[in-house]
Amino acid sequence: MGFFHKRQFPDMPPLIEEVKAGEPIVLDKQEKGAIDRQIKMRFPELKGKVFPKNVADMVLNVVGQEALRRLARLKLASGDSKGAASTCVKSLGLFGGKDSDWILLAEIFAEHGDIIRARNALETAKRFHKKEPKTPLEPLPTHEPAWKSEVQRVQDIIRSKQPK
C-alpha cells in the first residue's frame, strides 16, 4: 500500500491526497518565510547579495529541508496535522528523502491515528537509514543511538494510538 493512496477507512479522511508525479511542488507563504528566516539565521553575511543560480540552489538545499522540517514540527505541536503532513511531504519532494524526514512523517501520521501509513513511513525511514553514508560529521557511534531513540519514540506513539 502506498502512502498517498486513498485510505481504506472512509470515516477518517487522509491527511494528504495522492501526490501526482510531475506536478510542481508549490510552497505556501509560511513555508517560504520559514526558509527565508533559516537562511538569514544560518548565513547572515548573505543579506542583500545576489548569487548565481547554482550557489543559490546550494544554499537552499542546505537550509530548506531543515527549515521545512522545523515548520512541520511546529505545525504538529500546534495540532495542525494536515499542515504538518503537507509541509513534510513538500520537503521530501523538494529535497529528497532523508530518514529523519520519514520519521517525522511517521510521527505525524501516528499522531493523526493513521497507523498503517505511520508504519509504512517508519519502514521507509529504516530503508533510507541503511542507505545513508556515515560521514565524519555524523559518525555511527554518536548518530546511531539518537536515531534508534527517535524511531523507538515514534513506535511508542504508534502503539499508543492502536485500537485496543
DSSP 137: T
The whole-number average pLDDT for the span 61-75 is: 92
DSSP string, 8-53: S-TTS--SSPPPPTTPPP---HHHHHHHHHHHHHH-GGGTT----H
At residue 14, the pLDDT reads 63
Average pLDDT over residues 126-139: 63
The pLDDT value given to residue 127: 86
Q: Is the pLDDT of residue 140 over 90?
A: no
Q: Locate the domains of the chain by residue range.
A: 29-161
11-20, 48-57, 71-80, 152-161: segment of lowest average pLDDT: 11-20
Q: What span, in angstroms and rounded, lies between the C-alpha atoms of 73 and 81?
A: 9
Cβ–Cβ under 8 Å, residues 2 and 71: no
Helix (H) or strand (E) holding 125: helix 115-131
Q: What is the pLDDT of residues 23-49, one digit of tens each?
A: 788 899 999 999 989 988 888 887 777
32: nearest Cα among 86, 79, 68: 68
Q: Which residues of 57-70 are buried (b: 16+ CB within 10 A; e: fewer)?
A: eeebeebbbbbbbe
Residue 141 has pLDDT above 50, yes or no: no
d(CA 130, CA 1): 22
Write out pLDDT tens, residues 71-126.
Answer: 999 999 999 999 999 999 999 888 877 788 999 999 999 999 899 999 999 999 88
Are 67 and 41 within 8 A, CB to CB?
no
Return the pLDDT at 13. Answer: 55
Topology, domain 29-161: 1.25.40
Note the pLDDT of residue 31: 94
The predicted model gives 136-143 an average pLDDT of 51
Quickly count: other Cβ atoms within 10 Å of residue 99's Cβ: 20
Side chain identity at 22, as an amino acid letter?
G
